[in-house]
Amino acid sequence: MTRHAIILAVSLCLSRALPAQILSELSQPPNGNNQRAEVTQWVGPVKISIDYHSPHVHSLAGVDRKGHIWGGLVAYGFFDEGFGPSHATPWRAGANESTTISLSHDVLIEGKPLKAGTYALFLAIAEQGPWTWIFSNKSDGWGSFQYDQKNDALRVAVDPQEAPYTEDLTYGFDERRPGSATGYLQWENKRISFHVGVPNVNELYVDAMRKELQSWPGFNYRNWQFAAQFCADNKVNLEEALVWADKAIYEPFRNAAQGRQDFSTMSTKAAVLDAMGRSSDADTTMDRALTMPGADLQPVHAYGNRLLQAGRKERALAIFTLNQRRHPEEKFVTHVGLARGFAAVGDTAKAIKQWETALANIPENQKVNRPAYERSLEALRKSR
């Protein structure tokens, strides 16, 4: 057989075989027209996804099943559906294939640990008392016909809540916080939720930053600064954060990227030192920063405000005084700072005078805040 004939024969074989594999299952509407849906929520760097099929209160034939969902269409407890090997199954918490939940990282569900992975999500409902969410290691089933308790990774009990009418079974997330969110199923007149907690969310951010700083982002000194500032703000990973702060100032990548010594980067180093409890070292660093580029009106004013928030009244007043001395032409920002500083140390008369000067020179973009400033002034006048 010639080479051309061999190629033609192989091609004909492939042309017969491939369609049989590609078209082995036709694209059709989901069983019962229970549409497939997916909802995803991020908690920090943690991705949580629920994949499910959504049944309706009204059946495909138009039967109104309101009032007959809970304890009717969805039986109480663990029941025998008459299919498959299981004689005691929870509800599949959806329709058709098993509902699944995927977690990119370890989390806490209702305060209990659950490892990263994909789980089948079942729900055992009760006529009285709490309902039970079940997270099963066997996530590839069709419904719960092959449910086996030995595959349970976690069970948590929750109380169902009354909810506005919902025709289509819907999953979602709300009560979103930096380290948590609440997942829920809502259908007909019920809402059944579960709390997802990520108590180490800041450590996960730090882990991601650490990896990223070894790649292209590490060639920009600002990224080292941002990472260090994050640690300072959240009081995590402080020893390494001090190294990152120094890299931002001096040299992120030797002979490849330059650091920068200015008020901003030095302020970040001082913030790390302060978070470590090294206030004296932080003050020394900030004293140097005040002599560097970037020690302008607004950044220095913001530094004074941070000192006030930390309860360091005398140093805050000294910073506000320095800012006014450097910018004698400024008639608003520096006087607001001095007003707050004098009020903090108990010099009411001087604080009133500074507020009066500031309010007499309030710029257009600050007039929206005028009532708050006036309240501060009035409170001082009443306190005399």
Tokens of 254: 């030797």
β-bridge mates for residue 193, sequence order = 184
**AA letter at 42:** W
- What is the pLDDT at residue 3? 46
Per-residue pLDDT 10s for the chain (384 aa) are 444 444 334 333 333 333 434 444 677 777 767 889 999 999 999 999 999 999 999 988 889 999 999 999 999 998 888 777 888 889 999 998 899 999 999 999 999 999 999 999 999 999 999 999 999 999 987 878 889 999 999 999 999 999 999 999 999 999 999 999 999 999 999 999 999 999 999 999 999 999 999 999 999 999 999 999 999 999 999 999 999 999 999 988 888 889 999 999 999 999 999 999 999 999 999 999 999 999 999 999 999 999 999 999 999 999 999 999 999 999 999 999 999 999 999 999 999 999 999 999 999 999 999 999 999 999 999 998
Residue 154 CA: distances (Å) to CA of 109, 136, 149, 157, 192: 9, 7, 10, 10, 16
Tokens of 236: 């995590």
Strand 152-158, strand 112-114: pairing: unpaired
β-bridge mates for residue 165, sequence order = none
**105, 107, 113: which is closest to 197 by C-alpha?**
107
d(CA 21, CA 100) in angstroms, rounded, equals: 27
Q: What is the 3-state secondary structure (H, E, C) of 55-120?
A: CECECCCCCECCCCCECCCECCCCECCCCCCCCCECECCCCCCCCEEEECCCEEECCEEECCEEEE
Beta strands in the chain (DSSP E): 35-43, 46-54, 100-103, 107-109, 112-114, 117-124, 131-136, 152-158, 161-177, 180-197
- What is the pLDDT at residue 2? 47
DSSP secondary structure letters along 330-363: --SHHHHHHHHHHHHHT-HHHHHHHHHHHHHT--
Question: CB within 8 A of 50, min separation 6: which ones?
Answer: 38, 39, 40, 99, 100, 101, 102, 121, 171, 183
Asked whether 131 and 125 are in contact (CB, 8 A), the reply is yes
pTM of the model: 0.80
- What is the pLDDT at residue 25? 63
Asked whether 120 and 139 are in contact (CB, 8 A), the reply is yes
221 C-beta neighbours (distance < 10 Å), count? 20
- What is the pLDDT at residue 256? 86
